[in-house]
Every structure is written in C-alpha cells, then in structure tokens.
Chain A
C-alpha cells in the first residue's frame, strides 16, 4: 500500500485525513483509486495535479511504477514562468 499525503485543504473530502493508504501499481492507478474512494477529490484531480514520489516531483509521468512502501505527495499542478 502506497502512502498518499494530500494537502491540508483537501482533507474536507477525505473525512479529515491527510495521510491515506492506497493500493496501486503506478501513479495513474493511484489517482484513479483516489478519485473513486474520495469522489470529493474529483474536481481537483480533473483540474490537474502533480505528484512527488519518494521526493521526486512528477508533473506528468503517470506510468511511474510505485513500490509498496512509496510515499506519494499530491501537489497542485506545477507551473512555471
């Protein structure tokens, strides 16, 4: 089970929890599961997110495989100038 950390203002959609556990093989699956389990997160997922997997930021790369003990941090979709 990958550990998923969401940012604080999303907690209202997950019953107050910011540390979640999700079973998923890659980032794409993980985001899909997340949306199924917590439908309140759907609008944000649709608006776009980036993730950090074990400290490395992925703006895209949804096929990145996850290890069973991976720590995934949900981030707003990265932008730059």
Chain B
C-alpha cells in the first residue's frame, strides 16, 4: 500500500542524506570482490557456445558426433536438450528460443549448440567440429525496411495485433499501440505554428564492462547451484528452473558482485545452457561470454524511426502533439515502443496528444531493457521538435518548456493524473544555474531537454537480525549494482536510531529469502529500501516488547526514540531509556534472538523528471563534437546517499552522450554486425568528457516513508536531445539522426553549404 506520509518533508534525518563509505568499498579497491567470472569449483569444465554466422537461416541438422569423440569433451547440448516446457507462456518461449535456436537462427550470433570440456582450448576445438547444416534465408535489419510490404518475414504467420481492422497479410509488425487523449486533428487546426520532423536512432548496447558469466553445478538428484552476475537472481532461478524442468527450491542461485547491468542483465542468456551442460556432464560448468558475444548475442536496445508533429499558438501554448514511433526489438516481440509512446510527451501539459507505436521484428539480437527502456529515443525526437518550435514561436526554449510543463493535476499523455512532481522546479533551477548564462564561443552551441521516467516498486523481502552486541545484519535479495547496500544500511540505521557503522547489509542467495524482483526500474533504493525501513519497524516493535517485559509494563506503554526504548509517559513507569544494545545484550535470557522481517510488493514509486543542459563545440573541418559543459538537474525525492545519486545522474548522462555522438550498431548488407568490439563500438572515455555537474532536487515522494524516488533511469532520457540540440545550435543545422558521428555531421554541413550556394 502506498503510504501517505507528510513526515517526509519535515523530518530531520540523522544518517540518511550523509555520505559514508560504502560497505563493499575495500573489497572492490583491493581486487577481492568476486564477480561473475571470479568463481571456481572443484573439477569445473569450460563451457563454450557455438553461434550462427548467418543473420537468418533454417537449421536443417546439427552433427556433434566428431566433437563428442574429442578427448576432454564431456557434454554437448543443442535445442534438443532444452525441450519446450513453457506451457503456452509466449514470453518464456521467446526466452527459450533466444537462449538456443530451434528451427531457425534468427540473427548472427544466435546460439545453436554448446560444449563443455576440460579446457578452453579443447572446448574451442570441439566447437569447430560441430557441423551445422544451414539453409540461408533472406534477412532484414533496418526497422523501416522490415515494415515494407515485401520485406523478408521472420515469422511467416505473424499478423499485427492492435490494428482495426485486423490486417489480412502477415508482416514483421508485432503490435500497434496508441496512447493519448483529446482531439489531435482539432488541436492542429488551432495551431499557428507547426513543426514536423522525422528522426532515426541506431541501436546501442548497455555496454557493462563485465561480460555475462556463470558457474553452474547440477547433480543427478535434481539439485543445483548457480553463481551468476545478474540484476535478479530470483528471476534467474525461476526462469532456469522452468526451462529445465527443475523445482524452484532445488536450484539455489547466488548473485555475484555485478559489473554493471543497466537493464541488460534482467534476463537469461547463458545460464540455462550452463545448467544443461552441467546436468549432462555431471560436473560444474563455467560459461563466460567474450565481449564479441556480448555485442552479438545480448541485449542492445531498439533502433528507431520516429515522426513528430507539434503545433502551438503564437503566444507559446502547445495545442497538439502527435508522434508515430517504430522500434525494432530484434528477432522477438517486445521492443519497448509502448514506453516510448507513453513517455514521448509525458513532460508536457497537453489537451490534445497522440502517440502511436509499432513493435517490429528484425534479424538482430533480442533487445534487452536499457535504462528507462524506450524513452530516450522518443524524448530525442519530441525534445528536438520542441526546441525548434520554441525558436519559431520566438521564445527561449526554457520559457517555452516552463509554459507548457506538466505539473500537479496535469492529465499525463499516458493516462493518469500527476500528483506532486518535480519538473517545474528542475526547469526553474536550470534557468537560475550559472551554466545557463555562461557565454559561448564560435562553433559552440547550447541545448537542453527535459525527460521523464515512471519508476516502479515491485516485490522485496528483507530480514534483519540484531546481534547481542547491538550490531545489525540486514539481508536483502536485490543485487547491488551501484552502491545500494550503503543505502540499505543508511535507512536501517536511520530507522533504528543507531550509527551507520553498526549495520551491515549483505545480498543473500535465493535459498535465504522470499522472492525479490530484479534490480531494475530504479526500484531497489525505493522498494527494498522501504522493506528495510519496515523490517526495522518490525524489529523495533519486538525491541519495545522486550523492554516492556523487562520493565514489567504493558507493551503499548513503550515507545522507541533515538535508538532507545522509553516508557511512553510518566504514568507508564519511571525507567531510564534502554538502548538497542542493552536490550540486545539481554536477548538470550529474555526470549531469544530479536529479528525484523518485511515482505511486500511496493507500489507508489513516484515518477521522476530531469532537465539537462549541454554545451558542445563542433569542429567544422572534421565533424567532431566535443562536450564542453554538462549539467543534470533531477528530482530524487530524497537522496539517501547523495554521492551515489550524483553517480547515477552522471553515469546516465554519459551513456546518453555516447548514444547521441558515437555509439551505434553497424550492420553490413550481409546482415552481420561490423563493430562487435570496444574499439569500433566506441563508448565515451575519460578524455572525451568534462565534469558532469549535478543538482539534486528533493520533492518528496508521498509513496515512501522518507520521500525517496527511484533515480537510476531518468538520467539517460534527456541527453540525446540535449546533445543534439546543442550541436544543432552550434552548426545551425537540425540533426535528426543519431549518432551524430563526424561523417554524418560533415555530410549535414556540406548539404547546408550547398543549399546556401544554390540559394545565392
């Protein structure tokens, strides 16, 4: 249940909001922290995966007999070893097919077989000995091409859902979504100025530095262990157990330290294969992806093609907004186009708005969630048009945005009415920020954009054990991808009224706690943090009861204040306050251990808005863009550990800068990925960037006892448009395709000067 909590805005915090050292810091700076690939088991085998070289091909047969004869090879698995146990669950079936190709290879890099051998070199030799008989099929990798009537079909029977009337012919379009309200056509009739543009964005990869890795160990008794780097080990357990026909409780999954995820580790790829190999070989099997495999076979985000039309009156009021979004999500249904369509206009207060989305399949790897999935591309298109429209209306883009910004009570473009939200404060703060007034030089431009993400809560289960020495162990089931254990300790310490360094948080395996949802949707500090607070309150109740027993007064005559049990009033009795430590010390002889628990499904995660400002400089000779200055202003509700909130803002902004300027999946005509490595898929490096300035706003979320909102995702939404707007301002040409790589920018500049010449 969401809480209605007025205390959050007035409460004075002792621990929350400070910046202590994180509990896993020493392990991580000394190399001791154990990540996915750092585990070993006695007698472990090396598992390697054979992948399709073709973007689209029928698999007519697989002959592994030679590989199996090679000394040291202990098991080979193909799709025949993973029979369909999905029981009509279409999404799970897609996961199964993506894990290991069945009748067809649907993209270059699609797994077709796997081996387990006693060494990496034997496993490599064995892969070469597996013969796959392919019948090559025509392929398509571009979203607009895939929607053409004669495009090669991935699923020859697929009829688009959500169309009225239902189409008769099959296509690569999975589904049509439409969101909005009002009458868009009528709105445009009132418009005095209209801007209409088309945009394209390329697929980008989450680019976590740690490739997927796991160590599986399954015995013939049906019991198994899995060590894995994942954003959600409970999800891994349930998914793998279902795919392999195991009992959930007999598969114990331990989450390793995780070297980045950003949404890309919210599903399974190698885990079911490692388990199947281990089961067949009856030995532990370790599978570690290479970087090339990560690029070719794990989730990039969608590439997109988007049309946007926005109309306004001369006084700067938007009267209608319309967008059509086409996202390809790789070879399976489920591109995040619905979130693109829902978030496209979410930052504005509009009477007439419509966003239509098409989910399209292509011969590319199955997209996986990437930080605010689907939102950045839609935001790029809409915020680019907004900037242009503001100029045409003759207003400063920031004033135009302020005039039209969504606020409390706005009927959002995706349906609900907003409660207290922080968009306007971020805009106002942006206008006052020194960055906004700083002078610009030649070939330099300033751009801005506002972005939105929903955030959600989900299931969390937390256990809290109070030691007899008065220290507290917090057991959580949410993998820590960016310092969340520190936040859990902070909230626990705050609630119990004890120092931060008396609390330790650990991430427990699936056998220890009830189900915890994946660490995604910016949910962990919000939902698991709330579970920590509730578990602390549960423990406090027991601590008070214990004090009441010791004092011989009724339980409800004891209150908890500043880490002490106290008689509620003078008529409750006259006892000196008893600290947590004093109560804990007596626990063994007053009824045994004291622990708090909480398990729930959290809702009421507040939406989150951000405004970003970007200055860039373009070299007209080379087309190279340098980011000169960058500022992020975002509402965090309440920043539990401000350093890690800033870190989320900065990290998201830089991923967005990469998306805007460099990063892209480049496909050849042969349907093969041409840049499956960090040399040619260039993520931003240290020397590309300035410091990323941050401003944390705190507009409390009524759905959390401390007012916390998720902060992890919104920060990647505005940068694409903020960067593109700044580059467009620097060169005077509207850039409508991402990334704005040097060749693209040079081409745009040449086109502009040719047009100028022709006009003379």
Contact = CB atoms under 8 A, between A and B. Distances in A.
Q: Do chains A and B touch in the complex (CB under 8 A)?
A: yes
Interface of A: 5, 7-12, 43, 47, 50, 52, 54-61, 64, 71, 73-76, 78-81
Contact of B370 (A61, A78, A81): A81
Interface in B246-301: 261-264, 266
Nearest to B519: A80
B656 interface: no
B347 interface: no
Nearest to B265: A81
B454 A7 contact: no
Listed residue (A61, A64, A73, A80) with the most chain B CB atoms within 10 angstroms of its CB: A80
10 contacts: A5-B415, A59-B601, A71-B416, A73-B415, A75-B415, A80-B263, A80-B372, A80-B456, A81-B262, A81-B521
A55 B521 CA distance: 18
B419 interface: yes
Given A56-B419, A59-B457, A9 B177 contact: yes
Contacts of B522: 80
Secondary structure call for the A interface:
mixed
A81 B266 contact: yes
A8 B178 contact: yes
A47 to B, nearest CB: 8
B418 A55 contact: yes
A64 B339 CA distance: 24
B598 to A, nearest CB: 15
B419 A55 contact: yes
B459 to A, nearest CB: 7
Nearest to B299: A81
Contact of A79 (B179, B369, B457, B703): B369
Contacts of B161: 43
A58 B521 CA distance: 13
Given A43-B161, A57-B416, 17 more contacts: A5-B415, A8-B354, A12-B163, A47-B91, A55-B416, A55-B418, A57-B605, A59-B458, A64-B1, A73-B414, A73-B416, A75-B342, A76-B342, A79-B336, A79-B520, A80-B369, A81-B372
Contact of A81 (B416, B459, B713): B713
B567 interface: no
B511 interface: no
B417 A71 contact: yes
A74 to B, nearest CB: 8
Contact of B178 (A9, A47, A60, A64): A9
Contacts of B601: 59-61
Given A61-B603, A81-B369, A7 B415 contact: yes
A75 B370 CA distance: 20
B265 to A, nearest CB: 10
Shortest Cβ-Cβ A-B pairs, 10 listed:
A80-B521, A81-B263, A73-B415, A8-B178, A12-B164, A52-B416, A9-B178, A80-B520, A81-B371, A81-B369
B603 A9 contact: no
Listed residue (B162, B336, B371) with the most chain A CB atoms within 10 angstroms of its CB: B162
A78 B454 contact: yes
Interface string B4-45: 000000000000000000000000000000000000000000
Contacts of A50: 456
A79 B261 CA distance: 14
Contacts of B206: 81
B529 interface: no
Contacts of B266: 80-81
A55 B605 CA distance: 11
Contacts of A74: 415
A81 B572 CA distance: 51
Contacts of A5: 415
Interface in B395-450: 414-419
Contacts of A58: 603
Contacts of A59: 456-458, 601, 603
Contacts of B541: none
Interface string B146-179: 0000000000000001111000000000001111
Listed residue (A12, A43, A58, A59) with the most chain B CB atoms within 10 angstroms of its CB: A59
A81 B300 CA distance: 12
A64 B703 CA distance: 14
B700 interface: no
Contacts of B336: 79
B180 interface: yes
B694 to A, nearest CB: 20
A5 B411 CA distance: 12
B596 interface: no
A54 to B, nearest CB: 8
A48 B717 CA distance: 25
A37 to B, nearest CB: 18
A49 to B, nearest CB: 11
Nearest to B455: A80
A79 B373 contact: yes
Contacts of A73: 414-416
Contacts of A75: 342, 414-415
B523 A80 contact: yes
Contacts of A8: 178-180, 354
A52 B604 CA distance: 9
Nearest to B414: A75
B2 interface: yes
Nearest to B166: A12
Nearest to A9: B178
Interface string B679-713: 00000000000000000000000010000000011
A56 B91 CA distance: 27
Contacts of A76: 177, 338-339, 342
Contact of A56 (B2, B179, B369): B2
Contacts of A11: 164
Interface string B361-397: 0000000011111000000000000000000000000
A71 B521 CA distance: 24
Contacts of A61: 1, 601, 603
